[in-house]
Each structure stands twice: as structure tokens, then as C-alpha cells.
Amino acid sequence: MKLDCFVGIDLGSTTTKSIYLDENENIIGRGITNSRSNYDIACQVAKEEAEISSRFTLLERKLEADATLAAIKGTLLPWLTSKYRHANHLTQLNALKLECANEVAKRDDNEFSAVAVPMLDDVFKILEAESQDLFRPNVGARSDFFRDIAASGFLQAVEKLVQNNPKLLDRMIGIFDKAILVVEGKSYANAFSQYIKYATEETVALPQFKSFAGQIREATNYAANVTFNALNTIGTGYGRQRLPFPKEQIRSEILCHGLGAHYMFPKTTTVLDIGGQDTKAIQIDGRGIVTNFQMNDRCAAGCGRYLGYIADEMNMGVHELGPLAQKSTLSVKINSTCTVFAGTELRERLSMGEKREDILAGLHRSMILRAMSLLARSGGIFDEFTFTGGVAKNPAAVAALKKLVEENYGERVLNISPDSIFTGALGAAIFAKRGYLNEMEKINLEAISKKEQKQMDAF
Amino acid sequence: MENNKEAVKENSMILQKDMIADHFHNLAQAKENGKKVVYTFVPGNLNELIWAFDMLPVHPEINALQSAMRKKSAAFVLEAEKSGHSEDVCTYVKCDVGMMKRGNIGPTGEKLPEPDLLLLSYTGCFTFMKWFELLKQEYKCPVVMLHVPYQAEGSISGAMVDYVVKQLEEKVIPVMEEISGKKLDYDVLKSYLSASNRAENDLVSVWNSARSKPSPIDAYFGGVYYIGPIFSAFRGLAQCEDYYRTLREEIDERVRLKLGPITPDGAEVKEKYRLVVEGPPNWTSFREFWKMFYDEGAVVVSSTYTKVGGLYDQGFRHSPENPLESMAEYCLGCYTNHNLPSRVDLIEKYIKDFDADGFVINSIKSCNSFSAGQLMMMREIESRTGRAGGFIESDLVDPRYFSAANIKNRLESYFQMIDAKKAGAS
């Protein structure tokens, strides 16, 4: 089966997102990956992820269409998904293992190799065993990205095995860092049918699904065999100039965020987007068209990247910062949100005896204060107000925003979609659809006028 | 690299280049030739008077922007910062001070003479006063200040003209007579004013050509070249008249042939967006900045910056019939001497007169006199005209404040915003 679709890609500084829309403007697939240093690969991987996600949507639709399968969908789909993800994970682990061995061989150091080779064997045995628990149905993964999962597992395992040999630990981490780059750059999209077959067989072997084996096989087989026909693709985001697209297929992320926010929340008037490198305050009209915008200048103070540095400095994950900041009882006033000096500011405060959660609460507030200034410059905050970008996932940032909005503008409806990180890619996909329809209309009009001309000539 | 490509030159460009080279050469030899030198600012300059005394004018802002276009300003700005000028000080000032500290070598590579007089006609920019205070300390030469009342009410009254004329008669002219050792010859002054008047007519014709579609000129990026002679040393001179006659003929020909403006690379811009621009350009990356517009088919049909040295398009002309009064009105009428409501009115008028799709504000980091209130202006103009406003930020001559990626991003978004607006309206 062939499925027509429209593709939006948002090449951000931190993550690259992709959205697949069907002809009825329903989101069928979402893909996200690290932007890495290679935009081309990031773009490809995000698209592949969105395609895989689209296949799962189609699978779900197929299950819903069958009365017996629809009844067990709630338990069946999580099993298929987790088994699929596990298969995918094991393939990547295997690739990583091979690359690590290659890296060790490249060092051309027999002494190191004698220690490292058996150690890698042990490490990957541990990682494989641990992965069984990571991919159970309905278990929230710590991260969507293979790199994050593999890195933390690898580090923990190696730390145990090197037994207080920091030099060896460093060398092993060095091996991992090189190897992961190669693994991340590889494409696994073509392996969908292989993984889904594995997942199907593993699932139908379970007693509760045994009697539906035939129908399940048929459904997954269908999802694996759909071909996606992208009628139009639009790219946006920080790295959009690097996309291998012609100019007409590239849109500013400001317009895409405006339109994406409008699609998610049609009553949106003001949009705040805090991304990795920039913060944008956008005003849109009733059709999602941007009427005004302000963004930070060349300084990335107070953007997502700033939180990234703070997290590194505190040896925490970015997603852990918000919850910790929310434990604060005493807000510390912080004036600088300079990304470069983020670490300095933090260490100074810690050395003065201030608590981590209080400092973090202060940092979040000052970050939002910068955004408030951009919002004011763009014209203010009107109902409804939609917050997008990676930082919208941070509860402390959201809490600080709510408070400051209320203090400055009174009560406003604040929308945050769980899909907020995909807003730009969604806007791009809608632009792709509109662009395609306009083009079709033009072609039709030309055809009609040619036909009319012919009739006139005949007359 | 685009920037290294040799620019395609029309006759007017060659004329202007020669004029500038000659002038800096004359300045370098001023002392040898016994010529007195007057430093003065572009807005509200009294060129005809300076020439009538056979003195040579130097415009420090022009030196600064010329240095920036020749990639020399960064070092000068740093030099000034070394001697204690803060990062927030007007970068024209710092560029000038830095140039002075490094031996006063002008943009063409020849040494500039020290001033015999600092003629400060103050028109709306406070920094001008501080700037000449600094130069006064450095050069130990006399300063004569012409105080030009601000158009706080948005118009010029008879009393304001009288006040400026009185200062000219009682202060400015006597000091210039003393320094030059000459009595002012009103006939000579009138002949310079007549020449100015004719050049001004031709310049206005050039500005008005942008009403054509496509516009034959870019009235901002090209416009800063068109104002070169008349805003700097040459207003009142025969060569200035020649330049504007030649330019007008060239532009008339472009209108006849329905040609768009030409870029520095010699290509013709295919007009897609017609814009009005408020605020000075960035000089350090001038070509790159312009390219961000013409690559998208954006043509500036009118700009306010090209009116800082005179709003001739709104009817003002230097007049030999009333020499002092017309010089007074000139000083009072410069764009920098207008209040915010008048600036809003003017931009609104430009958008309508030139049928622009929208307007862009280039907000200059280190120029308070231009930048204060620009967001308010933007909103007011948007609401009056319904056309889209774009806002970008850069600086005059400090290259550190030009973030190409950021400006390009904003401009692209802005152009797409115009597209979306147009598509939505149709």
C-alpha cells in the first residue's frame, strides 16, 4: 500500500524533529534525534524515526479496524512496541560492540587490548542483560536516545570493572565516545520489517496473544509493507540552511512555530518558544500567520543551552533540573543568565552556602524574565498563550512563567502540549501541505486555461 | 568571497569616488596650502558657509563609516576602549577617537589635518556635544556651537528660525571671519546656495523614481551612496551639481528601461518586496547586510537614514534669496531633529507614497538618539498602515555587534511573514 503524506523537519541546535502528516492533516508520525555535529544524518534519522512512528500509527489503525484485535489493543500494542524497541536496541548494542572493538584495535596497543577486549565482552553482556528490563511494556525509558541509555549503562559497568584505575576508565570512555559517533550515524529504518517480525513472533508466543497469532501477523505485516509517498517536505529550524532542500522548501522557524502552535491550540495569539539557541516571542493572527516577533540577539543567554550547561555543571540530566528547582523554598535572585558564565555563577552561589534547589529556582526565574522582556517587546501576552520548545517540558520554567505572566498581565490561558517539542516540525509539515495544494491549484488552473484557450481556438 | 568581487561602476560612482579621493588629498595638503579646516557634523552642516570662507570641511561620522567600510574601524574602536571609553558609547565617536589616537590617518590612507575650528551645529543628537568636547580637549582649538532647537512640537516656528539666524549672525559668522581672516561675501555664499538648490532638485527626482514599479533604485543601500556628495563635503560645489545631474540621468534611463536596482556585483535586483527602512545601516558588513535583502528580492523604496542630512523630498531647498534663513531651516529640518510622532508620520507617508509591502527597523545598539522609541514607532506604524514591521539589531561601525546568522534569520522570517500575509489576504 502507498500512503501519501507531508513531511516537516525541524533541525534544531539540540535535537532534530520530524513530523509526518496524512492528507487529512492528522499527525501520523513523530521522530526525534540528537542533532549531533552532523545535520544531514540528524535529518535522516529524525525522518526515519517519524516513519517508524507512522508505521506504528498505521498498525494501531489496523488493530482498531478489526473488532477482536481492537478489544485487546490496549495490552497488545505495548508488547509489540517494547519488543520492537528492544530488537532495535540490541542491534545498536551489537553495532556499538563491534565499533568499540574496532576502536581498541586502532590504538595498536597490545597491553591495552589485552585488558580492553575481555572487558568489552563483559560490559556488553551486562548491557544486554540489563536491556531486558529496560524494554518491558509500559516502562518509561530514561531517554528516547540510544546514546543516553548506552552511555549511562556503559559508564556504570566499566566503572565497576576497572576497579579504581582512573586512567583505564578514561581510555575506555574514550573508546565509547568514538564508537557511539559511528553507531549514531547509521541508519536502521530499513530494518523495520525485521524488528517488527521479531516483535510479532515474541508477542504471539505469549499465552494471552497465541490465539490471535494469524491476525496479529497480518496487521504487523501490513504496517511493514506500507510505502510512504512524501508529496512535499518543508525544513525549518536553526540548521535549516544546511538541509539539502531547494529554497522554496525552507521556512523560518518563527513562522513554523506560529503555525504549529495555531494547529495545536487554535485560539493561540501569543507564542513563546524557548529552544536550544534562541528564544522567540511571536504574535499570530486567527489563521496562525505571524504578525510580529522578537528574538534574542547573538547572545544565547537564558536559552535551553544554558540549562544544558547548568545540568552538566551539576552532573545531572537536563530533565532533572526542573523537578529539583521545584523543591526550593527560598528563591535566590540571579541577575545573569549568561550561558558562558553559567558554571561560574553556580559555583559562586554554592560556595556561599546556598542550596542547589534554591539556586536552580532562581536560575529558572531569571531565564523566564529574559523571555518576558522579549514578549513585552513583541507587543505583550494575549489570550491564548502557548509555550513551545524543549524548555516547555521543564516544570520549574513553566511555574516561573505562570507566576510572572499573572503578575504582569493578569490571568491568561497557558497552553503547553505534551508534543510541544514538535511544534516547529508540525508547522513545517502544514506548510508542506499548503505549498503542495497551492502548486496543484496552479497546475489545475493552467490546465483549465489551456483547455479554454483550445476551445477558443477551435471556436 | 562575494565581498572581494570588483563592484560594477556607473559614471556617477566614478565621479563620486574621484571627488572623495580629491577631497581627502586636499585635506592632507591643507596646512601646506594655508587652508583652514573646519570639523562639523553631517546633520545641520553649514557647508555653503564653510566654502564661502574658503575653508575645508571634515565630517567625523563620514570618516568613521568610511573606515568601517574599509574594515579599519574595529581597531579604532578598541583603541578608544583602551583609553577608557565604555562599550556603550556611540561607536562613531570611538572610531573617530581611535583614529585620532592612531595618528589620524583617514579612510583613504592620507593623514587628516587638525581642525582650526569645531563647528558644532547641534541637531537632536546629544552625543555630538560630548564628541566635540573630547576633540576640543585633544586639539585645543575653538568650538562654536550653533544651538538648533528640537522640533518638540513637530514643526518649525518663525521664532525658531530667528533664533538660529541670530546665532549665525552674532556668533558663527564672526568666529569664522576671525579664523579665516576673511569677511563673509554674501554673493559667494548665494552662489553656493544656488548650486545646492539645483543638486537638491536632482536628488529629489532620484528619490521619487522609487515610486516606479519596479523601483530603479534601492533607496537605502544604494541610497547611502546617493547621499554621499550632498551629505558630506560637497554640497554647494559645482562637482556636486555635476554628480547629481549625471545620477539623475542614469536613473531616468533605468526608469525608461524598467530596470530594477543594481547590486554591488552588477546584477539587477528582481523586485519582490518593496520596503521602507528606518535607522542607519551597519557599515562593517555593509555588502553582506545588503545581500541579505537583495538575495530575497527586497528593494528599499524609501528610508529615513538618507534624510539625516536634509529632508529635501518633503520640500525643503537651500535658497539664495534668504541665505541665512534657509540655512536655519535646513538645520531645523534634519531627520535627527524630528520628534517620534513626526518620524512615525513620515514613515507612514513613505509606506503609502511608495506603496511599500512593509518596513524594517535596523536598531543601532550604540545610537540612543536613533534607537530610543523605535519599538513604539513600529507598533504605531503597523497599526496605522496594516503593513508588516520587521525589527533587526546591529551597530554602526563596531563589527562585534553584527551577528549575520541572527539578522539573516530575522529577515528571512520577516519576508516569509509578508508572503504569508499576502497569501492570507488573497
Are the C-beta atoms of A128 and A96 separated by less than 8 Å?
no
B421 part of contact set with chain A, CB < 8 Å = yes
User: The pTM is what?
Assistant: 0.83
A285 part of contact set with chain B, CB < 8 Å = yes
On chain A, the residues whose CB falls within 8 A of the CB of B382 are 291-292
Q: What's the pLDDT band for A332 if we cut at 50, 70, 90?
A: confident
Report d(CA B144, CA B174) in Å as an integer. 10
Question: Looking at residues B73-100, what average pLDDT do you find?
Answer: 91
Report d(CA A446, CA A442) in Å as an integer. 6
Q: What is the pLDDT of residues B263-279, one digit of tens each?
A: 988 899 999 999 999 99
Q: What's the pLDDT band for B212 if we cut at 50, 70, 90?
A: very high
Rank A207-211, A290-294, B104-108, B158-162 by mean pLDDT and report only the highest. Answer: B158-162
Q: What is the pLDDT of residues B23-58, one digit of tens each?
A: 999 999 999 999 999 999 999 999 999 999 999 999
A247 part of contact set with chain B, CB < 8 Å = no
Q: What is the pLDDT of residues A299-309, one digit of tens each?
A: 666 778 888 88
Phi, psi angles (nearest 5°) of residue A289: -90, 135
Best residue of A257, A289, A445 to probe chain B, by most B CBs closer than 10 Å: A289
B382 part of contact set with chain A, CB < 8 Å = yes
Rank A347-351, B78-82, B290-294 by mean pLDDT and report only the highest. Answer: B290-294
CA distance, residue B292 to nearest chain A CA (Å):
14
Tell me the domains of chain A and their CATH numbers: 2-230 (no CATH), 268-416 (3.30.420.40)
Place of cell 488573497: B426
Find the closest chain B residue to A287 by CA distance. B424
Best residue of B376, B394, B412, B422 to probe chain A, by most A CBs closer than 10 Å: B412
Calculated CA dihedral for residues A187, A188, A189, A193, nearest 10 degrees: 150
B373 part of contact set with chain A, CB < 8 Å = no
Tell me the domains of chain B and their CATH numbers: 2-183 (3.40.50.11890), 189-425 (3.40.50.11900)
Cα distance from N-terminal residue to C-terminal residue, chain A = 45
Q: What is the 3-state secondary structure (H, E, C) of chain A?
A: CEEEEEEEEEECCCEEEEEEECCCCCEEEEEEEECCCCHHHHHHHHHHHHHHHHHHHHHHHHHHHCHHHHHHHHHHHHHHHHHHHHHHHHHHHHHHHHHHHHHHHHHCCHHHHHHHHHHHHHHHHHHHHHHHHHCCCCCCCCCCCHHHHHHHHHHHHHHHHHCCCHHHHHHHHHHHHHHHHHHHCCCCHHHHHHHHHHHHHHHHCCHHHHHHHHHHHHHHHHHHHCEEEEEEEEEECCCHHHCCCCHHHECCHHHHHHHHHHHHCCCCCEEEEECCCCEEEEEECCCCCEEEEEECCCCCCCCHHHHHHHHHHHCCCHHHHHHHHCCCCCCCCCCCCCCCCHHHHHHHHHHCCCCHHHHHHHHHHHHHHHHHHHHHHCCCCCCCEEEECHHHHCHHHHHHHHHHHHHHHCCCCEECCCCHHHHHHHHHHHHHHHHHHHHHHHHHHHHHHHHHHHHHHHC
DSSP-derived secondary structure letter, B360: E
Quick check: B354 pLDDT over 70? yes
**Mean residue pLDDT across chain A:** 88
> Order of strands across the sheet with B298-303?
B298-303, B273-278, B358-364, B388-394
A429 part of contact set with chain B, CB < 8 Å = no
User: Taking CA B315 as the corner, what is the angle to CA B314 and CA B318, rounded to the nearest 5 degrees?
Assistant: 125
Interchain contact, B417 vs A297, CB within 8 Å: no
Of A290, A295, A298, which is closest to B417 when you measure between CB atoms? A290
CA distance, residue A287 to nearest chain B CA (Å):
8
ipTM: 0.74
Q: What is the pLDDT of residues B127-150, one digit of tens each?
A: 999 999 999 998 999 999 999 999
Report d(CA A217, CA A205) in Å as an integer. 12
Report d(CA A176, CA A23) in Å as an integer. 43
Rank A161-165, A262-266, A353-357, A450-454 by mean pLDDT and report only the highest. Answer: A262-266
Interchain contact, A377 vs B393, CB within 8 Å: no
Report d(CA B408, CA B404) in Å as an integer. 6
Q: Give the per-residue pLDDT at B7.
A: 52
On chain A, the residues whose CB falls within 8 A of the CB of B393 are 297
Angle formed by the axes of helices A67-107 and A146-162, nearest 10°: 50
Question: Looking at residues B65-80, what average pLDDT do you find?
Answer: 92
Instruction: Tell me the CB-side half-sphere exposure of residue B273, using CA atoms within 13 A.
Output: 30
B211 part of contact set with chain A, CB < 8 Å = no
User: From the CB of residue A328, how many other CB atoms can be counted at a distance below 10 Å?
Assistant: 19
A291 part of contact set with chain B, CB < 8 Å = yes
A297 part of contact set with chain B, CB < 8 Å = yes
Q: What is the pLDDT of residues A32-80, one digit of tens each?
A: 988 877 788 888 889 999 999 999 999 999 999 999 999 999 999 999 9
User: Taking CA A341 as the corner, what is the angle to CA A336 and CA A346, rounded to the nearest 5 degrees?
Assistant: 80
Interchain contact, A377 vs B375, CB within 8 Å: yes
Q: What is the pLDDT of residues A169-189, one digit of tens each?
A: 999 999 999 999 888 877 766
